[in-house]
Amino acid sequence: MTRIRHEPVAPTRTQRLASGGSIDAHRHDDHQIVYAGRGVLAITTSAGSWVAPGNRAIWVPAGTVHAHRAHGELDLHLVGLPATDNPLGLDAPTVLAVGPLLRELIIAYTRAPDHDGPERTRLRAVLLDQLRASPQQPLHLPAPASPRLRALCEILQADPADNRSLAELGRQVGASDRTLSRLFRGDLGMTFPQWRTQLRLQHALVLLAEEEPVTTVAHRCGWSSASAFIDVFRRTFGHTPGFHPAD
């Protein structure tokens, strides 16, 4: 049985993780904002996974058991907030948009976490204001509970480029497409095409962090062409695959 590490206070600090590096499952009594100034961050819980590039941060509520994984060299910025400070009123991990101002606020706040004074108090207040104004992003890939749905999802996670229809995949896992469609909506709260697109976008972010060419990423994630991939990516993230927030 894996032991879950308990850290009563969520740290405020910067940390570097090598590509492929990870932080094992743990939980805090405080809320935490997790932001990757470089690379792509993945957070996993029992409810699924969230992936965030450099213009996104992940809100992790107090008490949530979660693990981190780095894709690409990761500059990790961690902001701990008391459980009494929940500026968004969120009780589940959520990906938030990070504009230029919020990015600089997070970096500045984590640069000198031991410094305490009126300037830092004001900085924290502005940071919380910016969090309240940050749009939430639909970048959650929920984890299935149904055994048949879990088997199907594992097939696609192993090969996101698998373009078989739901009926074809259903024959492999022993369920009809009608049953699987119902399970996707009831268990995961989204349709099969929506879930597969989320999976492919998450996989694309990981491959881009590993500096794979855009055309290769499109092919390995199941898009018919690079232009089709770029179109979906831009509509989801608001920028093209080659964009780097720090540029």
Q: Is the pTM of this model over 0.85?
A: no
Note whether 170 and 191 are same-domain residues: yes
d(CA 38, CA 177): 40
- Residue in 151, 96, 105 with CA at minimum distance from that of residue 125: 105
pLDDT tens string 37-95: 888 888 999 889 988 887 889 999 999 999 998 888 888 899 998 888 888 888 889 88
Average pLDDT over the chain, rounded to whole?
88
Note whether 176 and 125 are same-domain residues: no
Note whether 226 and 105 are same-domain residues: no
* Domain interval for residue 196: 145-237
d(CA 37, CA 24): 20
Note whether 136 and 151 are same-domain residues: no
pLDDT tens string 133-160: 888 877 789 989 899 999 999 999 999 9
Count of domains in the chain?
2
d(CA 99, CA 200): 24
Last residue of a domain, one of 114, 140, 166: 140
